[in-house]
Amino acid sequence: AVTTTEGALLGVAGPGSGKTAVIAARAAYIIDQGLADPSAVLAVTFTNKAGRELKRRLASVLDESAREVWAGTFHAFALGMLRQWGGHFGFDPDHLSVYADEEDRRAALTKALQSLGLDPKSQPRRALLDSISRAKDRLLWPGDVRERDPELGAVYEAYQEVLRRRNALDFDDFLLFAVRLLEESPDVAECQRDLYRYILVDEYQDVNHAQHRLLALLAAGRGNLCVVGDPLQNLFSWRGSDIRYLLEFQRDYPDARVVLLEQNYRST
């Protein structure tokens, strides 16, 4: 799992088998062998806590070069792209606001409902925000939603317009816009692929459609994508994650090497 550096690799790992340790050791091996500079290694995971642990593991096996490896969450990586290239969508990247909490999103939705002539208090705002969030996780834009559900599509479109006027993104927008940026701007996509030559993903069983698409776009070309996951541990299905992407990794990458990590080093 550490030394098979070229091409796609799937590590199927049980609990306590060292998924994060393998990701850190693989990054160290790539750098030690001179295959890439530390800044050419991208290591992503799902939660801020897991991101901090990933950085800690990298620091334990690397010298100060650990700080040059980009390690963190999918959302932090996507937001970094938009802070650099958000002008592609008409945003002012230098003054981008992030609506990461419920209160900000609810206030924006209230404004959107008012713009449609609807009484916000009579609308299921929690359910509407959840539906918009699920649409974004599936990379659906207002026009896509409007075809199936005209009323929800109109609310979604009005909500996005409020965010646009405020030069703001909500949490789900990070991946939605980052994927579209890579799809619509070949120059940006090529720049990112040249920059990140090796992509490492921890806890791959928790990937959702938007994250899966982002990885596919970044790995296009070299295909140096290493993912490690446990098919029996899917924690974020409520956030749109889909275990299918782990189970069908070999379909997406037919030449992928599969390594089984079966030894449990955690439990007595």
**DSSP codes, 176-239:** HHHHHHHHH-HHHHHHHHHH--EEEESSGGG-BHHHHHHHHHHHTTT--EEEEE-TT----GGG
Out of 73-82, 127-136, 149-158, 199-208, least confident range: 199-208
Q: State residue 42 phi and psi, 5-degree precision.
A: -115, 120
pLDDT in tens, 51-109: 888 889 888 988 888 889 999 999 999 999 999 999 999 999 999 999 988 999 999 99
**At 61, which amino acid appears?**
V
* Distance from the Cα of residue 154 to its chain's centroid: 27
Query: From edge to edge, which strands make up the β-sheet containing 41-45?
Result: 70-73, 41-45, 198-201, 225-229, 9-13, 257-261
Q: What's the confidence (pLDDT) of residue 254?
A: 92
Q: Write out the E strands in 93-148.
A: 97-99
Q: Please report, rounded to a whole number, the percentage of residues in the chain having pLDDT higher than 90.
A: 75
Looking at residues 146-168, what average pLDDT do you find?
Answer: 97
Say if pTM beats, i.e. exceeds, 0.85: yes
Average pLDDT of every residue of the chain:
93
Does position 238 have pLDDT exceeding 60, yes or no? no
pLDDT in tens, 182-208: 999 999 999 999 999 999 999 898 889
